[in-house]
Structure 1
Amino acid sequence: MPKITQTFPVVALQRLQKTYGVSRKCANVILLKQQEIREDDDYDVMSTLGLLHKWKLDLELVTRFPQILKRPPYALDHHKHILEECGITVGVSSLASYLKVNRSFLFALEAHGAIPAGHDVIGSLCRSVELAPAVEDTVRGSLGSVQSRTLLDVRLAVFQQYLRQRLDCDASDAEAMITKYPRNRHKSLRLTARILQLLEAQGLAAEKIVRNPYLLNTHPDQLEALLENCPTVASTDIREMLRKVPRIAYMPWHNTAQIVRIVEEFGFSEQTVLNGAEVFTLAADTVRERLVLMAEIPELWAMRHNKNFFKMVFSFQRTLNRLSYMRTINMRCLSVHLLSTFYPMFRRYVSTGEDRTGGADLATYLSERLSVPAAEVWRQLRHHPHWRAVPLLTVSQTTEALLGAGFSAAQVRHALHLTLYPERRALEAARDAADAAAVPEEYVLQLALYRLEREGHFSGTGVFAFAADRPAVAVGSGAPAELPVEEGRVPRRSARVEGR
């Protein structure tokens, strides 16, 4: 028992005593343990305590086994079910020493009275999920002398046979589902049966569950809470999201609910959410922090209308590294594809300038911002010989400036090529055109565009005027900086680049 050297508020102690019926000494231990792990979000002392109280266990034993309060509630629930399935009496002491019990041999557990003498552990486990007698015989044959086996060995033998029968997979797949995800070694058979039934009810085939064995680590209560509290995400059925990104089922439901609120707060479209469903596997605070930071970076925030925007949110550190590198070599034409694609494709673009999605972000932005069909935007932009060479940041700044100056979306739409010019030149030309006599208001921007094009002899090269302020570096002419080192390509002895 930990030595209590700190006093806690009397009110807090009395509340614990009244709520859970514990002594003052036990209440002190609980508050001490809560203070020790307060900064760790993975643990919730009060939730664990409430679970023990719900099971009507002797909470006074917490003073002898305070480590049990650090056990996550869902993990503790699995451990309770496992002990019950093996025929072991559930108590604070047995739960606290769960790992030690699993490493013990069956004859030792019987000798110490943890398991009743002559109790058939294999039969008890098989009956908990109604395994066929033939499967039970297979387990007994594979283990040989059961009494000389550890409880974990016996459990895993039954667990693998259950997975083979339930998911119709071979022995190697069943074994891989446990070895690749060691947490699956401590999953209750009954809770596993429940979660498999729930996953299949959401449309996840057995083959997909085998390919994503981390799903076995999902608690059924957690998935049920997700379906109840988050039935839709941006008007999309949560079941469709689960089929697209199964890992969402593994995340705490309240984390998903927070991300839903963040997505709605920032006003992202349904298609954007669907295309970037991986973002729901991040912590909600991380998603908000990344979106706030991206909103402060003009080059990135201008791409927010792209349906693949969340790919940059998901691979945020990679996006920042690439953006920093592109700024260093003065390459302004960026795209969501370029900043979030695989490393070989990014390297190829930096070397050759090849980006097959070039212009897609620009067309998407104008289509969304001006409420114009994307096909119409593409049709107009293709008449300009250099439109693909204009950065999206330039187009977005000019468009926002024109709309902010009082011009309507229809006026901007009818002079779409004006958005390819730098903001300062476009506004100056618009003001000069507005001051001209006898020019109808709806033709002001068209006149401004005419004057700008006339300066470049209608060659379209006027859009490159921004280059005078910042000399460009020719693509493929030798970059002044090294390509950013990305995760998975770090030299063995160097520090690992921070992940996503």
Structure 2
Amino acid sequence: MLRNSKNKVQRFVHFTRGLAAVKQLKRKIPENAKPAKSAGLELPVEETLNPNYLSRMLGSSYRTWAAALDKHPELKTVKRRDLLSSYDTLKSLKYTVDDIVAKPMIIYYGASTLSNRHSVLLECGFHNITIQTLFKYVTVINKPINFLKAHRLIPYNVNVPQHIADIITDECLPHNFQLPVDVGENITLKELRESLLNSYLQARLQMNETELQKMWRVYSRVRHKSFRSVQDAIELLTTVFKFPAERLRKNAFLLHADADNMRRIIKEIPTINGHDIRDIGFRRPKILMSNCDSLTQTMQHVRAFGINEDAVLRCLEVLTLGPDTVLERLRDINQIEQFQVLGSNPRILRLVHYQNKARLRLDYLNQLKVRCASLHILSCGSDAFAKFARDGSDRTKGRDIVVFLGNIFQKDEQLLRNLLSRHPNWCHIPVLQVKQCLEYLQSKKFDLDDIFRNIHLLLYPIKRIEEKLLLLQVNEALEELHLPVTDMHALGNNEILTLILYLIESEFHFTGDGIWTEQQTHHVENFNNLLPDFPESLNKVYKYGVKPSEKSTMFNF
């Protein structure tokens, strides 16, 4: 009956549009109305170090620390928790607050750095390591053995090469393996340790000369790692995490990992969403380089934002970021509406890991008037993004919409895709518009069941929906439609939404073109010749794409 009255409706639309417009002025909602933003978690504002805090927590006088901060202002940038960790480490190494005040910049170094450097000096035969020696570690390690003995930093009777060799107790080494300890004392500690470590790694991990050179060039910090730590890390990685020698050679940065920290990770974070942390560490070795406390904080931040642990498994790289960085980026997601709408997406943490890239791309696409920037496009590789931008296809595969509505309606994603696919243009609508339309309908007291029965209405501009909703409040419109009621309030919510969808599409001959706003034209499948120049060298020079010039011509879809 409704379809037969299509022509009458089209004639009547012009008559009633004036009446509807009057009411619309009073109740108008902008087409690009922004949803309310969630405040999220705020980053704690931490005070810089000051003399009062240092004297209270570490000891000594206010005046002493005030003088130290004046002389070394960079100390003020040290975070308080890092300061306390460094202080606890120095205290465990038997240094007093008076020692620290004598060399206040010593607390600028991290706790693990201080502990490791002290271990290296002990392995090299140093006795009575003063805080001055520890502070000048880099200088000391580059001095010849005979020079260090002459200055009584190392006792004369200590055979330094043999002293280091005695530390190697790895049972997996060949029985006939011996470190080359017949070297003179003109060699520097740095050169000696590199030579001995090379021999050990060649025997233990079968590293060849090329791999060793690459390790020293790319992962130079390994040279400052104690032999005991390297040996302990290799044993843990091969026995507990089941790393074969080949995988360790390809991930040589793991030689700098802290074995005690990895043991803490196994104990304190045994699983993530039911998956063994040892398997996760094997898949993404870089995670094992993260501090256990940092990993714990990162997981807490993720849960605090209502993100399931399954999302972590889909983007394990997020565990390699610092917890403060993760918190700040999670907060930013709640402040950028195009990101906020993706909050329920199981791949949302890709926007955390690739947020800098995603923001640049979003800005670039906004300038091109491209609305359908999917999570995949914002975080994919440079080649895929360049192809998307060049093709000029302002559409997605609908994944973001299906996931978003699946969480809203608690329906199977395939069912939703099958329903939405009945509309020929559904993939050309950004998920943000769907969210805004849903919020508008809910504000008009339409419940989720009624909206689900008319799910295609979510693809249409709010302005058109409101126009037809106002139209149905005009009695003459109901009479023209030959409806069996004279008042819209006699209709059920499901019937009202169905009528709105019908009235919109009746103006477009039921082609589905009612989804386009007045500022939009139909989708252009290929407009390569219209795009601003996009560099061919994108992957070599530009990592995220290039922002078009403000003078470039912009195009509507």
TM-score under structure 1 normalisation?
0.83
> Which residue of structure 2 aligns with residue 265 of structure 1?
304
**Higher alpha-carbon deviation: 146-155 or 406-415:** 406-415
Contact 1:164–1:170, Cα closer than 8 Å, also in 2: yes
Question: Pairwise mapping of residues 185-224 of structure 1 onto structure 2 (< 5 A)?
Answer: 185-200=223-238, 201-224=240-263
Contact 1:329–1:473, Cα closer than 8 Å, also in 2: no
> Which residue of structure 1 aligns with residue 111 of structure 2?
73
* 1:52 counterpart (54, 79, 90): 90
> Which residue of structure 2 aligns with residue 456 of structure 1?
508
The residue type equivalent to 1:39 in the other structure is T
Deviation, 1:312, is 2.4
Contact 1:337–1:357, Cα closer than 8 Å, also in 2: no
CA distance in 2, matches of 1:16, 1:317: 39
Deviation, 1:37, is 0.9
Does 2:365 align with 1:326?
Answer: yes
> Which residue of structure 1 aligns with residue 221 of structure 2?
183
**Higher alpha-carbon deviation: 116-125 or 234-243:** 234-243
* 1:476 counterpart (516, 522, 527): 527
Share of identical aligned residues, percent? 26
CA distance in 2, matches of 1:273, 1:444: 42
The residue type equivalent to 1:122 in the other structure is P
Deviation, 1:255, is 2.5
Cα distance 1:97–1:298, how it changes in 2: closer, same or farther (>3 A)? Answer: closer
CA distance in 2, matches of 1:219, 1:188: 11
Contact 1:33–1:69, Cα closer than 8 Å, also in 2: no
- The structure that has the greater radius of gyration is 2
Question: Pairwise mapping of residues 298-337 of structure 1 onto structure 2 (< 5 A)?
Answer: 298-337=337-376
The residue type equivalent to 1:136 in the other structure is Q
Secondary structure at 1:119 match in 2: coil
> Which residue of structure 1 aligns with residue 552 of structure 2?
none
The residue type equivalent to 1:454 in the other structure is S
* 1:164 counterpart (197, 202, 213): 202
Does 2:418 align with 1:379?
Answer: yes
State the Cα deviation string for residues 282-339 of structure 1 (Å, max 9, x = none): 2222222223223222222222333332222222222112111211111112211211
> Which residue of structure 2 aligns with residue 135 of structure 1?
177
CA distance in 1, matches of 2:309, 2:62: 53
**Higher alpha-carbon deviation: 221-230 or 471-480:** 471-480
Cα distance 1:235–1:31, how it changes in 2: closer, same or farther (>3 A)? Answer: farther
Contact 1:398–1:423, Cα closer than 8 Å, also in 2: yes
The residue type equivalent to 1:461 in the other structure is D
Cα distance 1:244–1:369, how it changes in 2: closer, same or farther (>3 A)? Answer: farther
CA distance in 2, matches of 1:116, 1:61: 23
Cα distance 1:312–1:486, how it changes in 2: closer, same or farther (>3 A)? Answer: farther
**Higher alpha-carbon deviation: 187-196 or 128-137:** 128-137
Question: Pairwise mapping of residues 13-32 of structure 1 onto structure 2 (< 5 A)?
Answer: 13=55, 16-17=58-59
> Which residue of structure 1 aligns with residue 450 of structure 2?
411
Deviation, 1:421, is 0.7
Deviation, 1:75, is 0.9
Cα distance 1:214–1:340, how it changes in 2: closer, same or farther (>3 A)? Answer: same
Cα distance 1:296–1:45, how it changes in 2: closer, same or farther (>3 A)? Answer: closer
The residue type equivalent to 1:287 in the other structure is V
Contact 1:65–1:96, Cα closer than 8 Å, also in 2: yes
Contact 1:191–1:220, Cα closer than 8 Å, also in 2: yes
> Which residue of structure 2 aligns with residue 3 of structure 1?
none
Deviation, 1:154, is 1.3
The residue type equivalent to 2:402 in the other structure is A
> Which residue of structure 2 aligns with residue 497 of structure 1?
none
The residue type equivalent to 2:344 in the other structure is H
Where structure 2 has 5 or more consecutive residues not aligned to the other structure, the ranges are 1-49, 474-486, 544-557
* 1:350 counterpart (386, 389, 399): 389
State the Cα deviation string for residues 179-236 of structure 1 (Å, max 9, x = none): 2111111001111222333334245444333322222333233333434444444665
CA distance in 2, matches of 1:36, 1:321: 32
Contact 2:370–2:394, Cα closer than 8 Å, also in 1: no
Secondary structure at 1:135 match in 2: coil
Secondary structure at 1:136 match in 2: coil
Cα distance 1:457–1:285, how it changes in 2: closer, same or farther (>3 A)? Answer: same
* 2:186 counterpart (142, 148, 152): 148
The residue type equivalent to 2:178 in the other structure is E
State the Cα deviation string for residues 358-380 of structure 1 (Å, max 9, x = none): 22212222222211111101111
Higher helix fraction: Structure 1 or Structure 2? 1
CA distance in 2, matches of 1:421, 1:266: 30
Question: Pairwise mapping of residues 288-303 of structure 1 onto structure 2 (< 5 A)?
Answer: 288-303=327-342
Where structure 1 has 5 or more consecutive residues not aligned to the other structure, the ranges are 1-6, 492-500
The residue type equivalent to 2:339 in the other structure is L
The residue type equivalent to 1:197 in the other structure is E
> Which residue of structure 1 aligns with residue 483 of structure 2?
none
CA distance in 1, matches of 2:79, 2:540: 28
Deviation, 1:155, is 0.9
**Higher alpha-carbon deviation: 201-210 or 119-128:** 201-210
Task: Give aligned pairs, total.
Answer: 475
Structure having greater relative contact order (Cα 8 Å, sep ≥ 6): 2
Contact 2:294–2:322, Cα closer than 8 Å, also in 1: yes
> Which residue of structure 2 aligns with residue 120 of structure 1?
159
CA distance in 1, matches of 2:394, 2:146: 67
> Which residue of structure 1 aligns with residue 18 of structure 2?
none
TM-score under structure 2 normalisation?
0.75
Cα distance 1:456–1:240, how it changes in 2: closer, same or farther (>3 A)? Answer: farther
Cα distance 1:431–1:238, how it changes in 2: closer, same or farther (>3 A)? Answer: farther
Secondary structure at 2:541 match in 1: coil
CA distance in 2, matches of 1:367, 1:8: 55
Secondary structure at 2:77 match in 1: coil
CA distance in 1, matches of 2:105, 2:490: 84
